[in-house]
């Protein structure tokens, strides 16, 4: 139920995102989902790709600081209230969200929400018990 | 092991008798041969005959880098050029280079002093010495080279630069002793890891590092990364080059000054009055045996203190405490004295922080600002913004705590701070004062 995500440290200077996407493109690595957290001085780019190992390797070879973390990907109905239900469950379970971001699937019927929790195992347990559908890594990498 | 047992273990009284005799002869000769020095002594109302005890040196005027510049290039030599067999010069990054010369005897003494230092560091004729100090006008390369040959070790004169090749040579030759600047030692360790080479493949057992101030923390880093004993060596071209003082491997605490050739003093950094033994201040040296380029009371701008307690290694020479800073490196930020080594101390004491940093000083309006750039390593990195921000805050807080001056901490990508190929440039001062 855990999905691998890579995170890359970025200084706020022009061209760094283009560098990263260029490196990945060259190796034929496809980006499934991304989010960029930014502060005044630096940014953290988080990516889910179809080949985590390789992506991490080539980025490191190119001098980037790369970390690997585990996140979970939740499927919600693409309609008003779809996300609210999941967040209510998280609130009741007293889970602390480090960060989250969203993307939609091609079909447009469901949205996918990526969550990073401190206590990932507890989060999986609570969400699964409440009937929320979590995507496996294989499913996400193949989207 | 002690290279020159007779001199290096002389009882204090006998040593001081040797020093006094040599000092009197040296000052006499300088007065007689260099008009510039003679004029300075005359102006100060002192003459060579005034030296009755070692303490009488206090009455004599100091020599500074400024004096050397004024006499560029050969004005302070005490012998005709035909007797000078070698010239060295400082890098001159802060102005005109300062030029020094050596007679055959000077070179021979220097080589012996370096052999003493290498022996104090634990080197023997059986060692293979990888000498990565720069060869050329800089005294480091040739100074260490002659010392290693005099000792009878096998010298690999690799000089600075081309780090990849250095690593290959060091591994293939199974070099046992590494000579370079401490910042370059870290660069080598890091480059080994980058090239997928385990530092354990090296046969290194000791490193003799000098030419820039470095902290105890940095020593631990280097020892851990390269699996060797890190020994501090001190010297400056104006005195002779490397070999003025060195730590012994037994204690690694304080550098034994080659007192039979150099007379140390510690003076107050502002009033320049002599300080009592054991107090900290600016280090001043008078050469006792130099022929071509002797100096009287040369102000090194390095801060240290003398340790007079006996050492387990058996050497009777006083030790100088590891240099903690230079008045040249000292930054004055909003009126507070800041040494780059203090910043380094803070960084290394925070777990997982790499010692790669740079300090950028600017002036905005009438206010000095200091930015400390720190590289984010894989172990330091987190995918959560708040953790990285907390890290930057911790560093900022610790610096403020230690130095009493606030700064901005900027996290930067790995390898963006220039690596040292010799002396590390830690400070970029953009202030126009």
A65, A68, A117, A120, best to mutate vs chain B, most B CBs in 10 Å? A65
Inter-chain CB proximity A5 and B383 less than 8 Å: yes
B191, B353, B383, best to mutate vs chain A, most A CBs in 10 Å? B383
The answer to whether residues B380 and B257 belong to one domain is no
Domain A2-69 and domain A72-133 have a common topology: no
Domain stops at, among B328, B344, B368:
B328
B355: domain CATH number is: 3.30.300.30
Instruction: For residue A42, give the nearest of B383, B384, B388 by CB distance.
Output: B388
The answer to whether residues B72 and B118 belong to one domain is yes
**CATH assignment, A2-69:** 3.30.2130.10
The answer to whether residues B306 and B358 belong to one domain is no
Per-residue pLDDT of chain A (143 residues; tens, 9 = 90+): 899 999 999 988 888 899 999 999 999 999 989 999 988 889 999 999 999 999 999 999 998 999 999 999 999 888 888 889 899 999 999 999 999 998 877 666 788 999 999 899 999 999 999 888 998 888 888 77
* ipTM surpasses 0.85: no
The answer to whether residues B210 and B350 belong to one domain is no
What is the model's pLDDT at position B352?
Answer: 67
The answer to whether residues B246 and B340 belong to one domain is no
* Domain count for chain B: 2
The answer to whether residues B170 and B291 belong to one domain is yes
pLDDT tens by residue, B158-189: 998 899 999 999 999 999 999 999 888 988 99
The domain at A72-133 falls in which architecture? 2-Layer Sandwich (3.30)
Query: What is the residue whose two structure tokens read 């030759």?
Result: B173
Inter-chain CB proximity A44 and B383 less than 8 Å: yes
Domain stops at, among B308, B328, B348:
B328
Burial degree of B385 (CB within 10 A; 0-12, 13-18, 19+): middle
Q: Where are the domains of chain A?
A: 2-69, 72-133
The answer to whether residues B376 and B311 belong to one domain is no
pTM of the model: 0.73
Inter-chain CB proximity A44 and B385 less than 8 Å: yes
What is the model's pLDDT at position B432?
Answer: 64
The answer to whether residues B187 and B201 belong to one domain is yes
User: Scanning every residue of chain A, which has its alpha carbon at the shortest distance from the alpha carbon of B384?
Assistant: A98
Q: For chain B, what is the mean pLDDT? A: 91
Domain stops at, among B311, B328, B345:
B328
What is the model's pLDDT at position B339?
Answer: 80
The answer to whether residues B305 and B353 belong to one domain is no
Q: Which domain holds residue B285?
A: 1-328
Collect the ranges in chain B with pLDDT lower than 50: 93
């Amino acid at each position: 139920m855990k999905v691998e995500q890579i995170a890359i440290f970025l200084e706020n200077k022009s061209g760094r995102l283009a560098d990263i996407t260029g490196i990945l493109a060259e190796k034929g690595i496809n980006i499934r989902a991304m989010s960029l957290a930014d502060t005044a001085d630096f940014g953290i780019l988080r990516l889910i790709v179809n080949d985590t190992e390789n992506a991490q390797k080539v980025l490191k070879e190119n001098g980037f600081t790369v970390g690997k973390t585990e996140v979970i990907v939740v499927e919600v109905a693409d309609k008003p209230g779809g996300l609210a239900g999941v967040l209510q469950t998280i609130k009741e379970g007293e889970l602390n969200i480090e960060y989250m971001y969203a993307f939609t699937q091609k079909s447009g019927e469901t949205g996918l929400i990526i969550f990073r929790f401190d206590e990932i195992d507890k989060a999986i347990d609570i969400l699964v018990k409440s009937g929320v559908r979590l995507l496996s890594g294989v499913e996400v990498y193949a989207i | 092991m002690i290279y020159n047992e007779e001199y290096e273990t002389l009882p204090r009284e006998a040593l001081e008798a040797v020093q006094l005799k040599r000092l009197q002869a040296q000052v006499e000769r300088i007065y007689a041969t260099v008009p510039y020095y003679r004029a300075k002594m005359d102006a100060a109302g002192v003459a060579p005959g005034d030296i009755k005890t070692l303490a009488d040196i206090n009455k004599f005027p100091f020599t500074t880098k400024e004096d050397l510049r004024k006499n560029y290039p050969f004005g302070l030599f005490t012998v005709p050029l035909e007797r000078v067999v070698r010239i060295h010069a400082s890098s001159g990054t802060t102005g005109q280079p300062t030029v020094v010369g050596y007679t055959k005897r000077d070179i021979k003494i220097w080589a012996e002093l370096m052999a003493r230092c290498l022996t104090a560091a634990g080197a023997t004729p059986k060692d293979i010495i990888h000498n990565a100090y720069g060869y050329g006008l800089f005294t480091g390369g040739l100074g260490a080279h002659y010392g290693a040959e005099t000792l009878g070790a096998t010298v690999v004169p690799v000089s600075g630069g081309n780090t990849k090749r250095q690593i290959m040579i060091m591994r293939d030759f199974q070099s046992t002793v590494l000579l370079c600047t401490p910042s370059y030692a870290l660069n080598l360790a890091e480059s080994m890891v980058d090239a997928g080479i385990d530092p354990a493949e090296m046969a290194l057992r000791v490193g003799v590092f000098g030419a820039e101030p470095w902290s105890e923390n940095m020593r631990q880093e280097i020892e851990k990364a390269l699996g060797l004993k890190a020994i501090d060596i001190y010297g400056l071209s104006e005195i002779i080059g490397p070999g003025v003082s060195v730590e012994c491997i037994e204690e690694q605490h304080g550098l034994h000054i080659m007192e039979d050739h150099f007379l140390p003093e510690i003076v107050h950094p502002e009033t320049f009055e002599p300080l009592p033994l054991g107090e900290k201040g600016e280090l001043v040296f008078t050469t006792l045996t130099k022929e071509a380029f002797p100096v009287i009371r040369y102000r090194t701008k390095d801060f240290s203190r003398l340790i007079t307690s006996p050492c387990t290694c058996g050497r009777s020479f006083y030790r100088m405490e590891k240099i903690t800073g230079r008045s040249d490196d000292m930054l004055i930020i909003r009126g507070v004295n800041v040494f780059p080594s203090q910043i380094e101390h803070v960084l290394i004491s925070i777990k997982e922080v790499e010692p790669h940093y740079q300090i950028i000083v600017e002036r905005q309006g009438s206010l000095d600002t200091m930015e400390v750039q720190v590289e984010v390593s894989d172990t330091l990195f987190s995918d959560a913004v708040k953790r990285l921000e907390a890290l930057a805050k911790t560093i900022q807080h610790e610096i403020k705590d230690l130095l009493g001056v606030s700064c901005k901490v900027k996290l930067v990508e790995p390898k963006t701070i220039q690596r040292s190929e010799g002396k590390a440039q830690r400070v970029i001062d953009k202030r126009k004062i």
